[in-house]
A and B are shown apart, each in its own frame.
Chain A
Amino acid sequence: MESKPDGKGEGRILIEHVEKVYDPEGVNVHACRDCNADIQPGEFAMVVGPSGCGKTTLLNAIAGFDNATGGAIYLDGKKIAAPDIIQSPGADRIVVFQGGALFPWKTVMGNIIYGPVMQGKMRVDEAVSEARDLMGRLGLSREIEPLYPGNLSSGMKRQVEIIRALINDPKVLLLDEPFRALDNMSKGLMHEYLLSVFELTRKTIFFITHDLEEAVFLADRIFVMTTRPGTFKAVIDIDIPRPRDFRVLTTERFVEIREHVKAQVEEESMKAFEAGERELA
């Protein structure tokens, strides 16, 4: 995989009037309504908002796990979610989950090469050398290759998962609060890691989080969602230059933007709190 600083024009996610209504046992749950967003190829997009506002629903629709009930989502012009199509998840949009989803019965290397080998896209030896290339570029030691996920620290597990996603050369990386359970120090390191991944591959990233510092630190643009039924209430440009490191966190511009985003989200959180939605730890 070569460095693609200009994004190669791939990975544009167009979200048009997307609506999602669940119907568990006849109690209508209106998760999303009229969501609109145009995420550019190679953009780092963050989605923030109060708990239960439909962020994960949207991610699932993009990933192909759960279809939209209204509107449409296009990936580079191809419809990937809409009531009139049958969805299927694809290797062009890969998800990294919150709790970590490595196969516990496979080694680190086994996990990483799983995708391409299973799909017949690469032979095992090709996949292994590709994996090693990625690991080297992202600073992971070869010593971890034979280890099982159970022996890794949480941060390291996330790193491996991200490589497992990357090796499939997806157009889009979808991350659903992947660093939520990590302590602050590990989180900081993971941010640096993710940013180096981003600089290296310039994939489109769609990242959901509750941590506003994380959002402002990583993103090109932040999409703020309202409470349920969720829609995008604001899109905030992060004009802090790249490459960014932790020193950015204490600059005035960063703090300004962060407070602005915080105010937007808090407004929604208050509404959610009053409506009885509780954020769960």
Chain B
Amino acid sequence: MPDQTASIESQFWRQLKKNFINWSLLRQIMSFVLFLGLWSIIVVLVNYFHQIPTPKAVLMALFDLPVSAVLINILKSLARVLAGFFLGILIGFPMGVAIGYSRVAKHLIFPAFEMIRPIPPIAWIPLSVLFFVHNESQIVFLTFYGAFFPIVYNTMGGISEADIRLPRVAMSFGLNKRQMLWKVILPAAMPQIFTGMKLAMGITWILVVAAEMMSNNGGMGYYVWYNHTVMDYPHVVLGMGIIGLCGAICSVGISWVGNYFTRWQRIF
């Protein structure tokens, strides 16, 4: 009964706040402190690492940050990520649906797909230069490529692994194949489809950084690489942190959207 459990739960939380929350929070803060401490110590003690910036140096670099330049770089990277990501959805999603839903499509497309999939996206960098003239397109091609495979794969999975009884029920209610897809199969496959999108988002960030490092065209990857060439390592580390933050924010964004579309799953 919900009321009973609510009162037991609130008792539980009260006790937790009283006795335990200090400890666990303390431990978690300690985790950061330990990490920073270990970082500082290793850099100082290990001779070989003397060029690696200390946490303090990175912090100093933060104050020195050329804010507007960095912002432009972030936007550039973001634009490339989003372009590739949405292209990935545009092309990958229908393909995933086709492969998952139609036997014929699966037999025609899937074998080739599976053959190409193991090739890491980064290995495509040289060929991307041949496909596209403009550097921007080359980079977007890569981010698209990275997003494409997880989206197709998970969309296909979500559709083909949907509980078989649900379409059967729908068949009994007289739905035709087209209605079946939109009203039953796709909603049922939503959780898996969003898993694919989350994966895709993560991969596009990895790719954009790699591609930018090899181009001369701005973006956070370029920023990190540039600072490396001028041996400004505190800014390198800072750049790394910023990339991580951007990637995390994007992932959270996708999660939010996904959670909205699959709220029926989580409510319990």
Contact = CB atoms under 8 A, between A and B. Distances in A.
Check A-B contact in the complex, CB < 8 A: yes
Interface in B1-49: 1, 3-5, 8, 11-12, 15-16, 18-20
A25 B20 contact: yes
Contacts of B3: 276
A281 interface: no
A4 interface: no
Nearest to B1: A276
B4 A25 contact: no
Interface size class of B (residues with CB under 8 A): 10 to 19
Interface class of chain A by DSSP:
loop
A278 interface: yes
Nearest to A273: B1
Given A276-B1, A278-B1, A27 B8 contact: yes
A26 interface: yes
Contacts of B12: 24-27
A147 B18 CA distance: 53
A275 B8 CA distance: 13
A25 B15 contact: yes
Nearest to B20: A25
A56 B20 CA distance: 29
Interface string A266-281: 0000000001101000
Contacts of B11: 26-27
Nearest to A27: B11
A26 B1 contact: no
Contacts of A278: 1
Contacts of A276: 1, 3-5
Contacts of B15: 25-27
A279 to B, nearest CB: 13
B46 to A, nearest CB: 42
Nearest to B9: A27
A56 to B, nearest CB: 20
A278 B5 CA distance: 11
B7 to A, nearest CB: 10
B1 A25 contact: no
A274 to B, nearest CB: 9
B8 A26 contact: no
Nearest to A26: B15
Interface of B: 1, 3-5, 8, 11-12, 15-16, 18-20
9 contacts: A24-B12, A25-B16, A25-B19, A26-B12, A26-B15, A26-B18, A27-B11, A276-B3, A276-B5
Given A27-B12, A278-B1, 16 more contacts: A25-B12, A25-B16, A25-B19, A25-B20, A26-B11, A26-B12, A26-B15, A26-B18, A26-B19, A27-B8, A27-B11, A27-B15, A275-B4, A276-B3, A276-B4, A276-B5
What 5 pairs across the A-B complex have the smallest Cβ distances? A276-B4, A26-B15, A276-B1, A25-B15, A27-B11
